[in-house]
Chains A and B, each alone.
Chain A
Amino acid sequence: DTGVSQDPRHKITKRGQNVTFRCDPISEHNRLYWYRQTLGQGPEFLTYFQNEAQLEKSRLLSDRFSAERPKGSFSTLEIQRTEQGDSAMYLCASSRQSHRETQYFGPGTRLLVL
């Protein structure tokens, strides 16, 4: 499968715990995006990287959230001290420089905070 992959697909955690998600973009894509989707809503932008540089962060990304893409390939999204309101689907997308608007999504990680 040469599409965007995400791991894990599902995560259940208790409030206050830290969680980390991973995204592997399509291999030749240098842009990587994180979105959050709650039930019945469209995805909301969180942050994006061009290669290893994090170029924009949404105000939705509180200081409990941090994203990295250290080698410009895979990315991780960490949520510290999880809250019940963090329960959502976390989607990753990637695009290539030559057609950077065209974003391809991964299957998402569904997070449930108890």
Chain B
Amino acid sequence: GENVEQHPSTLSVQEGDSAVIKCTYSDSASNYFPWYKQELGKRPQLIIDIRSNVGEKKDQRIAVTLNKTAKHFSLHITETQPEDSAVYFCAAIQGAQKLVFGQGTRLTINP
């Protein structure tokens, strides 16, 4: 089955700097890769996603890149703000139904 590895587990950046979180997946058949943001005690919130027929997608300060050959994808947050502090999860879809999640990255934005 699919296995998703996520790095780093914690990340601390200065406000205004960029943050990058990386994930690798094992199943070459996976074709959909969402990113979720989860604040303490709240639901995972979908922030951006990418499908395997696209190499990059951007939404304001957030971008995701996908390298199908290497089977890895990354989340890029530019001009970070304190409200970006949260746990971020990458995931890969398996069989068009269940999401397989990475272990999460706790992002802290220092003012």
A residues bordering B, Cβ < 8 Å?
Answer: 4, 31, 33, 35, 40-45, 48, 55-56, 58, 91, 100-108
Q: Using Cβ atoms and an 8 Å threshold, which residues of chain A touch B43?
A: 4, 91, 105-108
How would you classify the secondary structure of chain A's contact residues: helix, strand, loop or mixed? Answer: loop
A42 close to B103 (CB less than 8 A): yes
Complex: A35 Cα to B38 Cα, angstroms: 15
Which of A101, A104, A105 lies in contact with B32, CB distance below 8 A?
A101
B97 close to A104 (CB less than 8 A): no
A45 close to B98 (CB less than 8 A): yes
A48 close to B44 (CB less than 8 A): no
What number of residue pairs across chains A and B have CB atoms under 8 A from each other? 57
Complex: A35 Cα to B44 Cα, angstroms: 11
Complex: A36 Cα to B3 Cα, angstroms: 17
B99 close to A43 (CB less than 8 A): yes
B45 close to A105 (CB less than 8 A): yes
| Given known A-B contacts A91-B44, A107-B43, A108-B43, A101 and B103 have beta carbons under 8 A apart | no
Q: Using Cβ atoms and an 8 Å threshold, which residues of chain A touch B98?
A: 33, 45, 48, 56, 58
Q: Using Cβ atoms and an 8 Å threshold, which residues of chain B touch A45?
A: 98-100
Nearest Cβ on chain A to B104's Cβ, whole angstroms: 5
Q: What are 14 A-to-B residue pairs whose CB atoms are below 8 Å?
A: A40-B103, A41-B104, A42-B4, A42-B101, A42-B102, A42-B104, A43-B44, A44-B101, A56-B97, A91-B44, A101-B32, A102-B46, A103-B46, A103-B99
Instruction: Name the interface residues of B72-111: CB closer than 8 Å to any CB of A.
Output: 89, 91, 93, 96-104
Which of B4, B44, B103 lies in contact with A41, CB distance below 8 A?
B103
Q: Using Cβ atoms and an 8 Å threshold, which residues of chain A touch B101?
A: 42-44
B103 close to A55 (CB less than 8 A): no
Nearest Cβ on chain A to B54's Cβ, whole angstroms: 13
Q: Using Cβ atoms and an 8 Å threshold, which residues of chain B touch A44?
A: 101
6 extra interchain contacts, Cβ-Cβ under 8 A, other than A42-B4, A103-B99? A40-B103, A42-B91, A43-B44, A45-B99, A55-B97, A91-B44
